[in-house]
Amino acid sequence: MSEQSLYPVPAEWAKRARVDAEGYDKLYGRSLADPGSFWLEQARRLDWIKRPEIAGDWSFDEADFHIQWFADGKLNVAANCIDRHLAKRADQIALIWEPDDPKAEPRRFTYAELHTEVCRFANVLKAQGVAKGDRVTVYLPMIPEAAFALLACARVGAIHSVVFGGFSPEALAGRITDCDSRIVITADEGRRGGKAVPLKANVDACAAHAPALKQVIVVRATGGAVTMQPGRDVWYHEAAASVSTVCPPEPMGAEDPLFLLYTSGSTGQPKGVLHTSGGYLLWASLTHELAFDYRAGDVWWCAADIGWVTGHSYVIYGPLANGATTLMYEGLPNWPDASRIWEVCDRHQVHTVYTAPTALRALMKDGDEFVTKTSRKSLKLLGTVGEPINPEAWRWYHDIVGEGRCPVIDTWWQTETGGAMIAPLPGATALKPGSATKPMPGVDLQIVDTEGQVLTGATEGNLVIARSWPGQMRTVWGDHDRFFQTYFTTYRGKYFTGDGCRRDEDGYYWITGRVDDVINVSGHRMGTAEVESALVLHPQVAEAAVVGMPHEIKGQGIYAYVTLNAGETPSDDLRRDLVKWVRTEIGPIATPDKLQFAPGLPKTRSGKIMRRILRKIAEGDVSALGDTSTLADPAVVDDLVANRVG
Ligand code: 6R9
């Protein structure tokens, strides 16, 4: 490692930060040496109806597989995010909403106002018959009502399942059906980058495939025309007019479910990742405070959509549990132009902005002028998440956006982990561009080889986590066995992340990307199996194989190989048709970047598709295809290479 690539902790950070280098070593050491008392002490950061006396109770072994944290504790997550702040911060701004249209007025809600809005929303849910344990699907744009809806669910003990507004009616129907959700909260339309997203129309279109769906609450966001179905659909503002704004929070067990969030895996359809109340909230709150050294009065902006886990943990739960002022932005970072993200920082005097490398790469491409013409003086920290950040984008973020004064906090984590797992602490950790640096307290990382052998020292292999942490997911909705099979059987007794990882001589972790059949498109997870099943649903398609390929802005793009049914002829029209088909089946984020017609796919004699070869061809690395002699028909490779879509 060259000297230049180490960014030491700035002196003022070492002085002012909550945790310095020595403090980190102590904290981390104690978290592993004495987890019981460490976590019970950490649990004090939450407001409990009944304080827990047991911390972690878990086993990753098949015979005794279970995961529980603070199981004898009782609390309400919404009360932790709102009510407990009222004594000190009733008049502090809890939520700032920045609209898509830069000329429109932002909205601000104090903690007292947030309390009123959430209680009102909770009473609307109750009036619609929603009770503890019910699944509530949330298909909303980034508007304040999205925050109210999530917290209202938490208040009444309902389990929210947010579906990203960019997902298609088909994808929405699948998620509603999987968790048997009777009710959907949506809006007339969403608005992003000046364009309307027909959310209510999508709900209408999904209904035929989602027999569980009985009720729809519609928030009026844009005023766009919608068709209301009598007996099923109600306007939120009408329902809200007749309910009280008093709603006592439901006492919940620490292990009662808080939310479900569907995420892609290497096989099958997206799975419902379940998080529970106590451990999840503790993790979101602790990591938000530690990794970002959050201080009272700071304005915090996580630019993720609430459709993703980052939006759950760091737009809503972590910051609000910490009494923060959290900014929610309706639009896109680069609309109307590439200055917008920094203009929003200036307008609201943002202290920390947290976004994805893909956004940074896109902004970087538009040139420094869009950045330098803004002030950015309020910024003190810059965060990133979602995919490995290339050192070039890291340096641009650090040098140009932060003018060298703001540490870059690269946080590695997953939907399954609830919150950040590997991240620098700004007062403790010297930075290396491209490395998420070191584990958070309690995170027991190991790098193993394909046989599961633990590798020590500077090494590279597969990243596993050897013990449970409070923010860990608890199950796959409706399929506990799939939870165990997916995460705990590759390396017995350990949680497998699905990521490859290198550890350097200083003990820094460098995530190298997924080692399973998941692609990371613009920081969003997409299972190759999902795109393949969408393609084979097309009447002219016989078989499909999908792999990731390097993409300058998105990190990874989607490369699809398609074999047509006998008698069908490849054409550019059909290619366009298939790309459109996938967008309609799943959503725009699943759009194949390249689609190659392949008369045959490279298969072993036992019929297994050799993805390694397909990946190489997609990457354009055709000189290093490796051994193809084990293929049933080695000749198919020549055709694939010859017809590669460049
Ligand atoms: C929070 C989130 C998880 C996958 C994860 C990994 C990749 C996320 C990263 C990162 C390198 C980082 N990932 N953060 N890779 N450095 N800082 O993104 O959750 O959507 O579930 O994705 O994203 O591959 O396994 P999720």
Integer CA distances (angstroms), 10 to 234, 277, 636, in order: 54, 36, 57
- What is the C-alpha separation between 420 and 431, in angstroms, rounded? 16
| Residue range of the domain that includes 547 | 522-643
pLDDT at 147: 98
Residue 135 forms beta bridges with which residues? 159
Q: What is the 3-state secondary structure (H, E, C) of 426-457?
A: CCCCCECCCCCECECCCCCEEEECCCCCEECC
Q: Rounded to the nearest whole angstrom, what is the distance from the C-alpha of residue 600 to the centroid of ligand 1? A: 33
Integer CA distances (angstroms), 361 to 12, 301, 388, 435, 588, in order: 29, 19, 12, 17, 20
pLDDT at 105: 98
User: The tokens of 60 are what?
Assistant: 């990753």
Tens of pLDDT, residue by residue over 499-537, are 999 999 999 999 999 999 999 999 999 999 999 999 999
Q: Which residue has the higher pLDDT, 627 or 544?
A: 544
Tens of pLDDT, residue by residue over 10-42, are 999 999 999 999 999 999 999 999 999 999 999
Residue 56 forms beta bridges with which residues? 69
Hunting for tokens 């917290």 — which residue is that?
151
pLDDT at 29: 98
Atom of ligand 1 nearest to the CA of 263: 21
According to the annotation, is 538 in a ligand binding site? yes
Atom of ligand 1 nearest to the CA of 384: 17
Which residue minimizes the CA distance to atom 18 of ligand 1? 386
Atom of ligand 1 nearest to the CA of 415: 21
Tens of pLDDT, residue by residue over 315-357, are 999 999 999 999 999 999 999 999 999 999 999 999 999 999 9
Residue 110 forms beta bridges with which residues? 93
- Per-residue pLDDT averaged across 475-479, rounded? 98
Identity of the residue numbered 276: T
pLDDT at 633: 87
Judge whether 624 lies within some domain: yes
Q: Where are the alpha helices (DSSP H) in 349-439?
A: 357-365, 369-372, 391-396
Q: Rounded to the nearest whole angstrom, what is the distance from the C-alpha of residue 496 to the centroid of ligand 1? A: 14
| Secondary structure (3-state) at 235 | strand
Judge whether 549 lies within some domain: yes
According to the annotation, is 616 in a ligand binding site? no
pLDDT above 80: residue 2: no
* Of 307, 262, 264, nearest in space to 528 by CA: 264
Q: Rounded to the nearest whole angstrom, what is the distance from the C-alpha of residue 386 to the centroid of ligand 1? A: 4
Give how far the C-alpha of residue 432 lies from the chain's centroid of Cα atoms, to the nearest Å. 24
Hunting for tokens 């340096």 — which residue is that?
395
Integer CA distances (angstroms), 35 to 39, 267, 463, in order: 6, 34, 21
Q: Where are the alpha helices (DSSP H) in 499-634?
A: 528-536, 572-585, 611-619
Minimum mean pLDDT range among 41-45, 400-404, 619-623: 619-623
pLDDT above 60: residue 223: yes
pLDDT above 60: residue 295: yes
Percent of the chain with pLDDT over 70: 99
Tens of pLDDT, residue by residue over 150-207, are 999 999 999 999 999 999 999 999 999 999 999 999 999 999 999 999 999 999 999 9
According to the annotation, is 310 in a ligand binding site? yes
In total, how many domains does the chain have? 1
Probe target for ligand 1 pocket from 382, 496, 525, 526, with the most ligand atoms within 8 Å of CB = 525
User: The tokens of 107 are what?
Assistant: 């909205």
Judge whether 480 lies within some domain: no
* Of 269, 249, 247, 273, nearest in space to 260 by CA: 273
* Of 586, 587, 523, 598, nearest in space to 559 by CA: 598
User: The tokens of 175 are what?
Assistant: 């998620």
Judge whether 621 lies within some domain: yes
Identity of the residue numbered 433: P
According to the annotation, is 195 in a ligand binding site? yes
Q: Rounded to the nearest whole angstrom, what is the distance from the C-alpha of residue 523 to the centroid of ligand 1? A: 7
Probe target for ligand 1 pocket from 280, 308, 312, 387, with the most ligand atoms within 8 Å of CB = 387
**Secondary structure letter of residue 159 according to DSSP:** E
Integer CA distances (angstroms), 486 to 268, 441, 466, 495, in order: 11, 25, 15, 9
Which residue minimizes the CA distance to atom 11 of ligand 1? 388
- What is the C-alpha separation between 465 and 485, in angstroms, rounded? 16
Judge whether 239 lies within some domain: no
Cis peptide leading into residue 599 (ω within 30°): no
- What is the C-alpha separation between 262 and 250, in angstroms, rounded? 25
pLDDT above 70: residue 1: no
Hunting for tokens 């978290």 — which residue is that?
31
Residue 200 forms beta bridges with which residues? none
- What is the C-alpha separation between 215 and 181, in angstroms, rounded? 10
pLDDT above 60: residue 283: yes
- Indicate the pLDDT class of residue 632, thresholds 50, 70 and 90: confident
Q: What is the dihedral of CA 42, 47, 53, 59, to 10 degrees?
A: -60
Q: Rounded to the nearest whole angstrom, what is the distance from the C-alpha of residue 12 to the centroid of ligand 1? A: 30
Listed in sequence order, the residues at least 6 apart from 519 whose beta carbon sits closer than 8 Å to its beta carbon are 525, 526, 527, 528, 546, 547, 548, 556, 558
Residues with CB under 6 A from ligand 1: 263, 308-310, 385-388, 410-415, 436, 497-499, 511, 514, 520, 523, 525
Contact 588, 579 (CB under 8 A): no
- Per-residue pLDDT averaged across 256-281, rounded? 95
pLDDT at 623: 86
Tens of pLDDT, residue by residue over 380-395, are 999 999 999 999 999 9
Tens of pLDDT, residue by residue over 541-590, are 999 999 999 999 999 999 999 999 999 999 999 999 999 999 999 999 99
Which residue minimizes the CA distance to atom 3 of ligand 1? 414
pLDDT at 4: 53
- What is the C-alpha separation between 130 and 78, in angstroms, rounded? 16
User: The tokens of 497 are what?
Assistant: 């992340």
Listed in sequence order, the residues at least 6 apart from 243 whose beta carbon sits closer than 8 Å to its beta carbon are 120, 123, 124, 126, 127
Q: What is the 3-state secondary structure (H, E, C) of 60-117?
A: CCHHHCEEEECCCCEECHHHHHCHHHHHHHCCCEEEEEECCCCCCCCEEEEHHHHHHH
Judge whether 287 lies within some domain: no
pLDDT above 50: residue 641: yes
* Of 586, 496, 513, 610, nearest in space to 269 by CA: 586
User: The tokens of 279 are what?
Assistant: 């451990």
- What is the C-alpha separation between 85 and 324, in angstroms, rounded? 10
According to the annotation, is 522 in a ligand binding site? yes
**Secondary structure letter of residue 3 according to DSSP:** G
| Secondary structure (3-state) at 147 | helix
Judge whether 85 lies within some domain: no
- What is the C-alpha separation between 81 and 85, in angstroms, rounded? 7
Tens of pLDDT, residue by residue over 137-161, are 999 999 999 999 999 999 999 999 9
- What is the C-alpha separation between 332 and 305, in angstroms, rounded? 10
Crossing angle for the helix pair 199-206 and 169-178, nearest 10 degrees?
60
pLDDT at 372: 98
Probe target for ligand 1 pocket from 358, 360, 384, 499, with the most ligand atoms within 8 Å of CB = 499
Contact 106, 77 (CB under 8 A): no
Probe target for ligand 1 pocket from 266, 355, 413, 431, with the most ligand atoms within 8 Å of CB = 413
Q: Rounded to the nearest whole angstrom, what is the distance from the C-alpha of residue 413 to the centroid of ligand 1? A: 5
Atom of ligand 1 nearest to the CA of 423: 17
Average pLDDT taken over every residue of the chain? 96
pLDDT at 3: 42
According to the annotation, is 412 in a ligand binding site? yes
Task: Assess: ipTM above 0.95.
Answer: yes
Please report, for the domain that includes residue 544, its CATH number: 3.30.300.30
Q: Rounded to the nearest whole angstrom, what is the distance from the C-alpha of residue 497 to the centroid of ligand 1? A: 10
Judge whether 132 lies within some domain: no
Q: Rounded to the nearest whole angstrom, what is the distance from the C-alpha of residue 512 to the centroid of ligand 1? A: 11
Q: Rounded to the nearest whole angstrom, what is the distance from the C-alpha of residue 200 to the centroid of ligand 1? A: 30
